[in-house]
Amino acid sequence: MQDHVEDNGANMISLPSYLFLSFIMFIAGLVVMVARKNIIAILLGVELILNSAALNFAAYTRFINQNLEGNIMSLFIIVIAAAEAAVGLAIVIRFFQLKESVHIDDATQLQA
Amino acid sequence: MGLNYLASLSHFVPELLACVTMFGLILIEATYKEEHKERGLFFFAAYIGFASVLTFLCLNLKHEAVAIFTNSAVIDPFSTLLKIVMVLGTMGATYLVSQSKDIEGNLRPEFTIMATGVLVGGMLLSSANNMLLLYIGIETLSILSYVLASLKKSDDRSSEAGLKYSLYGGISAGIMLFGMSHIFGVLGTINFTEIGVALQELTTVQVAILLPSFLLFLAGLGYKIACVPFHMWSPDVYEGSPIPVTTFFSVVPKVAGLAALIRITTVFFSHEGAMNMGWVGILSVIAALTMTVGNISAIGQRSVKRMLAYSSISHAGVMLLGILVISEVGIRSVVFYAITYLFMNLVAFYIVSFVNDKYGNDHFERFNGLIYRYPVMSIMMAITMFSLAGLPPFSGFVAKFHIFNAIVIKKYYVLAIIAGLNSVISMYYYMKIIRLMVLKPAESEEQISGFSLLNQGIIVSLTVPVLFLGIFWEKIMLVATNAKIFLE
């Protein structure tokens, strides 16, 4: 793995670029969750954040740590994110059937 | 060094048994017909499964701490004791679900199956010794909890609770992972023990990256134990979920999150340094806020269930005090606190649940004059409320006293004063229930069918530890003292 990095060292995308990209994704995810009112969009924001973390793990493994731990983490993040999205969407569908809306402002019944 | 896989499995029997219980329950449930209401065999099998898990955990309690599966998990007396608490909590919630009218028909077995799944997640979380297992544990716990919260499919409050839980849960898991990814990048490992070693020698640049990363990491864990400012989901979810689910949430995920937080704090921050100071400082602020916000919000509530939700937030704050001192005395006090908290919570929620079944809501007024109709139950409720408020001679007092002791030894006097003031505030809303039960006339003479002789007996036997641990606490404290955390 080390050799491969050095071979292409001249025209490789460097670690800071990856970190910058993942940071942008993280911020975008946070903004989506705060600003958007559609529940589906909020779930997409969650996915953005999870993927930014997965990208970070993969990038750090590739450029600095060279052990498999980061790649395994990325794989697990992808798998578990899918499971979480499945349950999240199921709940949203149920919510939609009851309220006929996927707008977060309609979920206000429980505020004291 | 770690053991090989087969040898590791022999230390992993309780978790495997819990998994087997879960699959067995799914199979048994599949054999029932839709209209079959009682399902005695199902619950019998569930109790047998939990009891066998409990037996193996008790046997493990005396074993030496050992790292298994290439150091990714640790089986130590500390995690085993908290797993016992979690199994007891699951059993308590399962019994409540079989009696409560809040969840009916085939939702009862569904609850039991998923609660067992959450239990497996909690067990993983409390033994996790690297970030991967921590993440898997948290997600196993969370994903099933979302389903549990929205268990009543046609109830819009329940599905709203599940919706809020899953959105907040997803966000916090993502934020935690983002923090973990930078910790991994800087320190080059996901193993907690290695991170703890690496944290002792850091350059300034590394500290600059790690401080915000650990803050993000804490946000994810703080969400699981519902500490301020990550607590917004908790009262809504507790109120919207059916009561047996709320009972379950207030014990199992909370204890599991605390176990993970204790392990992380002890393994990472036992040594003096910039990181240690930062972490303890943040935890102190969070603990003070958690106690205060939890207590003050609890005052104005109409629903007893929501009041108990806020009170459980403030109890999490008190337990955080025991964590942030990073000493054996602190850990021992938190473990003892968790044990007493389990029993107090179960009694309080049992009684609230049966009252709620009768009247359809759990507002404070429903407790009016309860002592004239159900004197034994009212006395049990009163004992629990005194204990939750931390009055002697009940177990809540002993637990709080040890936490205070731990923080005074470390000379955190300001925190001790804040905690003391909070105890006084909490008296108000706990005493309110007792006042209504004793001083107000009864609203009606109707029977509450939930308070059958058997259920009353079970509530009394759950109250016995609340009283007993307040007087003869040395034995359990000795067990908690022996529950040492694995450090290498």
- The DSSP code sequence of B29-57 is HHHS-TT----HHHHHHHHHHHHHHHHHH
What number of C-beta contacts closer than 8 Å exist between A and B? 134
Q: Tell me, yes or no, whether B53 and B74 share the same domain.
A: yes
CB within 8 Å of chain A, chain B residues 155-214? 156-157, 159-164, 166-167, 169-171, 173-175, 177-178, 180-182, 184-185, 188-190
> Which phi and psi angles does B272 have, rounded to 5°?
-65, 150
Pick A77's closest partner by Cβ from B146, B177, B188: B177
Taking residues B37-44, report their average pLDDT.
84
Task: Indicate if B244 and B334 belong to the same structural domain.
Answer: no
Q: Does B100 touch chain A (CB under 8 A)?
A: no
Asked if the model's pLDDT at residue B302 lies above 60, the reply is: yes
Q: Kindly state whether residues B254 and B322 are assigned to the same domain.
A: no
Do residues B332 and B431 both lie within one domain?
yes
In this structure, are residues B192 and B266 in contact, taking their beta carbons and an 8 Å threshold?
no
Q: In whole angstroms, give the CA distance from residue B105 to residue A65.
A: 53
Q: Do A60 and B181 touch (CB under 8 A)?
A: yes
Same domain for B399 and B335: yes
Percent of chain B with pLDDT over 70: 99
Give the gap in angstroms from C-alpha B73 to the nearest C-alpha of chain A. Answer: 15
CB A49, CB B171: distance < 8 Å: yes
Q: Rounded CA gap, B293 and B295, in Å?
A: 6
Structure ipTM: 0.90
Which DSSP letter does residue B73 get?
E
* Touching A: B residues 39-58, CB under 8 Å: none
Note whether B164 contacts A110, CB cutoff 8 Å: yes
Question: With 50 as the cut, is the pLDDT of residue B80 above it?
Answer: yes
Predicted TM-score of the model (pTM): 0.93
Low-confidence residues in chain A, pLDDT < 50:
1-5, 7
Average pLDDT, chain B: 89
- Residue of chain A nearest B165, judged by CA positions: A88
Question: Which of B266, B299, B323 is the C-terminal boundary of a domain?
Answer: B266
Do B352 and B421 lie in a common domain? yes
| Structural domain boundaries, residue B187 | 1-266
B135 CA: distance to closest CA in chain A (Å)? 9
Mention the CATH class of domain A2-106.
mainly alpha
